[in-house]
Each structure stands twice: as structure tokens, then as C-alpha cells.
Structure 1
Amino acid sequence: MVVLIVDGYNIIGDWDELKRLKQKDMSQARDRLIELMAEYQAYSGIRVIIVFDAYYVRGMENKLKQYKVEIIFTKEKETADECIERLVKKLKNVKTQVYVATSDYTEQRVTFGQGALRKSARELAIEINDLEHEITLNVAQHEKAKPKSKIPLTDDVLEKFEKWRRGDI
């Protein structure tokens, strides 16, 4: 199994689209990141966990599942880095490869020392853009291969049916 742990606010602070949303409303930026990661998870089959620290959301540690993506808001005095390190220790084993998506150099070094692999925010953005492009191509191929009608009809008949449908005849 492959698991991707995402340092939520680090990614939000790095991607242009999310930075713009953050300036208007942090919750919109968080929601957009969650949507993007849900699409990534659905297409790639990789389990995604997004960690947000309590800096922007006060309160007790909270775990949610939205779009089948696991979302963790850390405890009030816990940083996302500490939570990510704890998750890496818990999840990393012979059968599970853990990736950590962050551009925080210190966090990359610590998690790498625990056996996780790193993805910078830029690398993750490139991966997501590639997946979106691949999805677009697959949809286009599917649309092209899809028959127009279950019953093969000539263009004349289709045109006549369309006129009937519109009440032109």
C-alpha cells in the first residue's frame, strides 16, 4: 500500500491557486486542497491523509473524512510536523510506502530519516497537473468511442427526430 501524507498549510502556502484563495478565505483554500487531493486519490489509488495544524483552527485534535480523504486537524499545541512524524512512525512498514508532501526542508529530512519518501509541493503540483491532463484525455477518448445512439440511424432520420423533438414539424 502507498500512503501520501500532505502538510496542508505548507502546500496552501506554495501553490498559486491556493495562495490566492487563502488571501480571501482560508477555509476555501483548505476545501480546494481537499478536492484536489480527493481527485488525486480517486485516480491514483493512493491513500491520502491531509494534516492541518491547529494554528488556523483552534481546538482538540479532530479527524474527518471528506471525499474519502482523511483530514487531521492537530491538537492545539501540536504542529503539523509533529503529527506527520507520528503518522510516519505508525504507518511505515514493509508493506506500506509512505510519502510526505511538504516543502519544509527540516520536515523532509526528519521523515526521510524515518523511512518515508518526500514530495515537494512543486512535485505534487506537477503530478496533479499530469493526472488532470490524463483524465481529460481519457474522458475525450471515452466520448469519442461512445456511440451516438443505441440504434444506428442515418443523419436524415436523426435530423427529422430532432425537428419532431423541437416541434418544428
Structure 2
Amino acid sequence: MKDILIVDGYNVIGAWRELKALKKKELENARDMLIDKMAEYQAVTGWRVIIIFDAYLIPGKEIRTHKSRVEVIYTKKSEKADQKIEGLIKKMKNVKTRIHVATSDMAEQWAVFSQGALRMPSRELVEEIRTIDSQIKQAIIDTRPQTKGSKIPLDRTIREKLEKMRRGF
């Protein structure tokens, strides 16, 4: 079974304390940070990740981009993220696909649930991402070579030769 996570971008940013604060100063940076975190999520889970951002106040057509294997969709002017999410569910739902939708909008949660998708509250996604972050940090620490001398990785024979030269042998 293939898992797809559709993320209501601004809703998740609003539920994530650090991104919410960043959004007030630099909206684009908050979006980029969410996309980066979702790319890590995608790499760890293997799920297809689609982030939807409202653009209903901005003139223009729908924009679709990819960043680090994450699909990012900015809706067209007259379309809200909720409408786009519901349309994607209708288009992608089948017996081989399990769709999860991350949003804290209760009305949207019920709408996607009634279409057969699984709902994931934004706070739950944020906590899952924090867990993944700590797992990544621990994996980096665990795989880092534990040498107390040189910061340059050298094999044992070269290290012994250099030690002899240093001691004058």
C-alpha cells in the first residue's frame, strides 16, 4: 500500500510554534522551513508528501513545484487549500493508496474523513517531525567516528607512521 501525506501548509505553520513566529516576520522562510522538514519526513517515512498553500488572495494560476522530492502546490486565486485537498483526494484515492491529511481545521478533517482519507491533526504531525529530528541527530552522533586525536580520518597504518615520525623513530 502506498501512503500519501497531504499537508495544509499554512494550517501546519500556524500550529508549529517556531514556524508561526517566523511567519510573522518572514512568510517565505516559514514556508521553506516547512518544506525542508517535510522533505526529511518523506526521506524517513518513504511517503509521498504534497504541501498545499493557499494563494486565494494572490492573482494568478496554480503553481506546482518540487523541492527535495516534496510536491508543493500554490492554489490559484479563487481556490482555497481545503478545496484543493478535497479534489486531490478524489483524484488519488484507490485501493492501493492510503491518504493522510495534516490539518487542524475540524471541518476539513471531517470532510477528508468522509472521503476515505485519514486525518492527522497538525500538532500530531509537528510532534512526529520532532521525533524524526531527534532520531536523525542521534543517528549522526552514533555514526560519527569516535577518535580523540586527529580530526582527519586516517587508517591505522598511516596513523602509526605519522606517530613514529612525530616521535623521531
TM-score by length of 1: 0.86
When residues 47 and 159 of structure 1 are mapped into structure 2, their CA distance, relative to the original with a 3 A threshold, is farther
Q: CA deviation at 1:56?
A: 5.2
Q: CA deviation at 1:75?
A: 1.3
Residue number in structure 1 paired with 2:126: 125
Gaps of 5+ in 1: 162-169
Residue number in structure 1 paired with 2:156: 151
| SS of residue paired to 1:13 | helix
Q: CA deviation at 1:160?
A: 3.0
Q: CA deviation at 1:59?
A: 1.4
Take 1:27 and 1:120, find their aligned partners in 2: how far apart are those partners?
23
Summarize deviations over 1:79-138 as a string: whole Å, max 9, x none. Answer: 100000011111121111100000000000010111110111110011001101111111
Conserved 8 A contact 1:57-1:73: no
Summarize deviations over 1:34-71 as a string: whole Å, max 9, x none. Answer: 11111111122111000011135431111111122100
Take 1:30 and 1:151, find their aligned partners in 2: how far apart are those partners?
47
The reply on whether 1:32 has 2:36 as its aligned counterpart is no
| SS of residue paired to 2:11 | helix
Aligned length: 161
- Correspondences of 1:27-106 after superposition (within 5 Å): 27-55=28-56, 57-106=58-107
Residue number in structure 1 paired with 2:9: 8
Gaps of 5+ in 2: 148-152
TM-score by length of 2: 0.86
- Structure 1 vs Structure 2: percent identity of aligned residues? 47
| SS of residue paired to 2:144 | helix
Take 1:93 and 1:56, find their aligned partners in 2: how far apart are those partners?
33
| SS of residue paired to 1:60 | coil
Q: CA deviation at 1:13?
A: 1.3
Take 1:95 and 1:68, find their aligned partners in 2: how far apart are those partners?
21
Conserved 8 A contact 1:6-1:49: yes
Take 2:45 and 2:34, find their aligned partners in 1: how far apart are those partners?
16
Take 1:140 and 1:87, find their aligned partners in 2: how far apart are those partners?
39
Conserved 8 A contact 2:57-2:77: no
